[in-house]
Structure 1
Amino acid sequence: MKSGTLRGLRHLLWPKSSSSDGPRQLRPTAYLDGLRGFAAFLVYIHHHELWAHTLHQSAIFESAWGNQGEFHFATFHGIRNFFVGGHMAVAVFFVISGYVLSMKPLSLVQAGEYLHLFDNLASALFRRWFRLFIPLIVTTLVYVTSWHVFGYWNAACEPKSTLGEELWNWYVEFKGFSFVFKESNLWVSYNPHLWSIPLEMRGSIIVYTACMALARATNKARLLCQLALIFYFLYIVDGYYGALFVSGMLQCDLDLLARTDGAYFPRFLRRLEPYKTFIYYHLFFIAMYLAGVPAFKNDMEDFRQNPGWYWLSYLKPQAVFNIKWFYLFWAGNMIVACIPRIGWLKRFFESRFCQFLGRISFALYLVHGPILNSIGDRVYLAVGWTRAADDRLGPLAGWQNIFPLPKTGPMGLEIAFLVPNLLLLPLTLWVADLVTRAVDEPAVKFAAWLYRRMLGGGAQESKPVELAPLMRVA
């Protein structure tokens, strides 16, 4: 009994590799998993880059190349997405979610299986909140209790005097955060990177509702209604996340129609088939440019001062409040559309590394911030980095310059930045893998079990769609 428990604990903390000598069996949409995982990795890089660099350098990172006469490799058009691509990653997450969430319902709609469609949507909508919020509850609860249990100082939060007071404050914040239709403060102070979770839930409801409302429409009418919804969310009201979700749904609908005999696929798109390589390569480069939209200030005059963005600024509709999301809408959609149609990109996102990142992507999103604001604080301070709010460091001030490293090298690739990540990146990936197996995957199973209990133990759909959550960047 004791040896079995120890073996189980050892497997949880350090699982054996599941790889085999035989060829891997990849799902047709495995590239989406890899893309989501790599996008989560970009979120990690984004937050670490902004932590380690001063406010002035962060302004350069978040602006277009050549900002205020300073030119850096890390800020060149397209290149900067690999250093501060977290904003782009969120747009990609939402498009992927719209695609994945609608795949099963749309396949049932196109097959005319409306009873099965109702069963699928009922199950998916019931399970969605639990699938998104249970891992959030567990990880934030562990995090807020950690500095009371282990007695360390956290500069990112203001620790309460007692554990009971801390737990009450966590409860008050979470209960408001869990109400996805709340109009403001879509974050918890303990982990503000989680602001996109309520938008994930809202977008999910939009997709499920659209699938149900348009179930009996003709294919042409359904596609036109999806276009109308995208226009409404992007140009009439400030609902960029709704536009991203519905656009993912539209891409899925078109892909499913393209796999049929072609009778229902739009003819003008079919005529472009011989030129798809030329078209998608150009769309990909346009997407990489738009993904680097200046995001340091949400001010149009400042936005127009960025090289290469003056004339593009006139494309932004009046309804969009935060400027960057209009351009990220187009960038995210182009990226998701291009990946499966550019062979080498698809193979990259189907690689073992990207598939691993895809499996742990939600957990990576949940834990990278707490690790950065606890262990990362100390490591970066120790090698010589400082923060703008040094007056809030408290006991952490003693960590400064314990083991200073040279800041030589291109901005964003300094030795003092790369060396700490030899520790922080493996640690974050290991914790994310642990949380995936110990919290995220059990949460999915619990939600499915609870739904079966609600049905009185009856059977649900044979292969419930795995719902992709998603991430964002602050």
Structure 2
Amino acid sequence: MPSDLEGPSIEPKRDDELPGAGAAPPSSDMTAVASWLASAGGSGLIRALTLWSSKTTSSPPEKLRPTAYLDGLRGFAAFLVYWHHHELWAHLPPQLLSLESSYGFRNLHYFAALPVIRNFFHGGHFAVATFFVISGYVLSAKPMSLIHAGEQAKLADNLASALFRRWLRLYIPIICTTFIYMTFVHASGIWVDGGIQFRATYFEAVWEWYAEIKNFTFVFNTGKVGWLSYNFHLWSIPVEFKGSLVIYTALLAFSRCSRNARLWCEAGLVFYFLYITDGWFCALFASGMLLNDLEQLAAKDELPSFFTQFRPYKTTIFYAMLAVAMYLGGCPAHSADATELRKNPGWYLLSFLKPQAVFDVKWFFLFWASVLLVASTPHVAWLKRFFETRFCQYLGRISFSLYLVHGPVLWALGDRLYAAVGWPKDSRLANIPQWVNIFPLPMSGPLGLEIAFLAPHVILLPVTFYLAEVVTRAFDEPSVRFPQWLYKTTSARPARLPA
């Protein structure tokens, strides 16, 4: 998920490092601002729609930031969300049960359901939990460094800027992409199996979209929220915003605590959200903040003495944490009930660990899986190097846009391709019969890796990546720059003292 940037972060770039379409906008002259938007818009549109970067191919690769592995981890997690959703969309209900259950459930034994292996077929939930831990980590990175330095005035400025920009940074890309998708569906008249109701006029479609968006973007709405008809995968964005508010509030509340008191307060907050109330997503954010605090203390060799006794066993501990994370990350998700989880081989005893407060049992285990994964990754050399590869770094740069566009591509194009190669589904037979079995392919192969499943991705993957790149350039990167410019423009300038 996206995060504000000041200092180390998982965004594509820091606010002042994003590639622009020209000079920075002026700060006050609105005529000049309009002129800048017009000139930048033209070149920006060309840049967004073409695959050529503004940088030359001969330029040397950029030096990786210390937290670059988080970019790669977030990007790879976004790809797992893409893969997970396609697995569930293409396959039939009996196959879905096997994908969302453990190996051996109801005497079904599939390679895709094996422990650890299943994370690569069914890792979308694990990925979302990891998003939230990473967000808590990076949102607190700069403020935490200011707390450590005792820079209270700078901390206040930093949190003010972060709060001002956060809503805009999260929702501008969503507003733009869902509006375009709504317009495309209405103008083309194509059928999409994504919960969209056709309207008689474009105005009616726009009004329905507006009514959903205004409720979806209001964090304190107590009515029907969370599912957006034009992209129901985006349920996690309001959760992201709520978690951000938790982080900013906690940082301010704990800013004057002593080191040990602050760590205890952060740990207590995690315990409260996970064991006292059903606030699993808040616990994920708070744990990211706690991890960042500990990492910064470790970098300065200022950890509490309790941790130093484990230093000789550090490598073993982090490998063990990674192994536990990979096992728990495959928590069966076909039911929210702990009694149903007990029927899954390998999860009977673990199911009794679920706290009373947690409603959906999978999020309790995914909490521990994602926290242990983020905590162990920088200390497992080969894993950190993997997430620092150019491919994972690229996935990290487009990760938010990949999250935004993969659903519309799946519903508009994927459904037709899956129908064409022979995947049966009643809705396809009823609404797009002309696409059914145009080019039937064998259903042979392991579950989740069938020829008929993999073949459509020869088209789907490039199309999805291309649109993710377009959205990154057109909406994602500007949604970082524009709020920063707006904050600077609206901020009061210090009064000048008389000469």
Shorter-chain TM range is: over 0.9
> Is the alpha carbon distance of 1:397 and 1:237 closer, same or farther for their aligned partners in structure 2, counting shifts above 3 Å?
same
Contact conserved, 1:155 with 1:394, CA < 8 A, in 2? no
Give the match's secondary structure for 1:159.
coil
> 2:360 is matched by which residue type in structure 1?
N
Q: How does 1:432-471 map to 2 (within 5 A)?
A: 432-456=468-492
Distance, in Å, in 1 between the alignment partners of 2:392 and 2:88 is 24
- Stretches of structure 2 that go unaligned for 5 or more consecutive residues are 1-37, 495-499
Aligned counterpart in structure 1 of residue 447 of structure 2, from 411, 428, 446: 411
> 1:230 is matched by which residue type in structure 2?
V
Give the structure 2 partner of residue 470 of structure 1.
Answer: none
Q: After superposition, what is the alpha-carbon deviation per residue over 1:299-330, rounded to whole angstroms, capped at 9, x for unaligned?
A: 22221100000000110000001110000000
Give the structure 2 partner of residue 461 of structure 1.
Answer: none
Distance, in Å, in 2 between the alignment partners of 1:188 and 1:250 is 32
Q: How does 1:307-386 map to 2 (within 5 A)?
A: 307-386=345-424
User: RMSD of the TM alignment (CA)?
Assistant: 2.0
Contact conserved, 1:181 with 1:202, CA < 8 A, in 2? no
Distance, in Å, in 2 between the alignment partners of 1:8 and 1:147 is 22
Distance, in Å, in 2 between the alignment partners of 1:190 and 1:23 is 38
Contact conserved, 2:126 with 2:329, CA < 8 A, in 1? yes
Contact conserved, 2:269 with 2:283, CA < 8 A, in 1? yes
Contact conserved, 2:332 with 2:362, CA < 8 A, in 1? yes
The percentage of counterpart residues that share the same residue type is: 56
Aligned counterpart in structure 1 of residue 467 of structure 2, from 408, 428, 431: 431
Distance, in Å, in 1 between the alignment partners of 2:249 and 2:45 is 42
Q: How does 1:107-186 map to 2 (within 5 A)?
A: 107-156=145-194, 157-183=196-222, 184-186=224-226
Distance, in Å, in 1 between the alignment partners of 2:43 and 2:256 is 55
Contact conserved, 1:95 with 1:247, CA < 8 A, in 2? yes
- The Cα of 1:393 is off from its aligned counterpart by 5.6
Q: How does 1:195-274 map to 2 (within 5 A)?
A: 195-260=235-300, 264-274=302-312
> 1:190 is matched by which residue type in structure 2?
Y
> 1:202 is matched by which residue type in structure 2?
K
- The Cα of 1:105 is off from its aligned counterpart by 0.3
Alignment size in residue pairs: 454
Q: After superposition, what is the alpha-carbon deviation per residue over 1:414-456, rounded to whole angstroms, capped at 9, x for unaligned?
A: 1111111011011101100110001111111111111112115
Distance, in Å, in 2 between the alignment partners of 1:251 and 1:447 is 28
Q: More relative contact order in 1 or in 2 (CA 8 Å, sep 6+)?
A: 1
TM-score, normalising length from structure 2?
0.88
- The Cα of 1:269 is off from its aligned counterpart by 1.4
Give the structure 2 partner of residue 9 of structure 1.
Answer: 46
Q: After superposition, what is the alpha-carbon deviation per residue over 1:347-381, rounded to whole angstroms, capped at 9, x for unaligned?
A: 00000000000000000001100110001111111
TM-score, normalising length from structure 1?
0.92
> 1:28 is matched by which residue type in structure 2?
P
Distance, in Å, in 2 between the alignment partners of 1:215 and 1:18 is 44
> Is the alpha carbon distance of 1:18 and 1:63 closer, same or farther for their aligned partners in structure 2, counting shifts above 3 Å?
farther
Contact conserved, 1:219 with 1:264, CA < 8 A, in 2? no
- Stretches of structure 1 that go unaligned for 5 or more consecutive residues are 459-474
> Is the alpha carbon distance of 1:394 and 1:446 closer, same or farther for their aligned partners in structure 2, counting shifts above 3 Å?
farther
Higher mean C-alpha deviation, range 268-277 or range 204-213: 268-277
- The Cα of 1:10 is off from its aligned counterpart by 5.8
Distance, in Å, in 2 between the alignment partners of 1:373 and 1:277 is 45
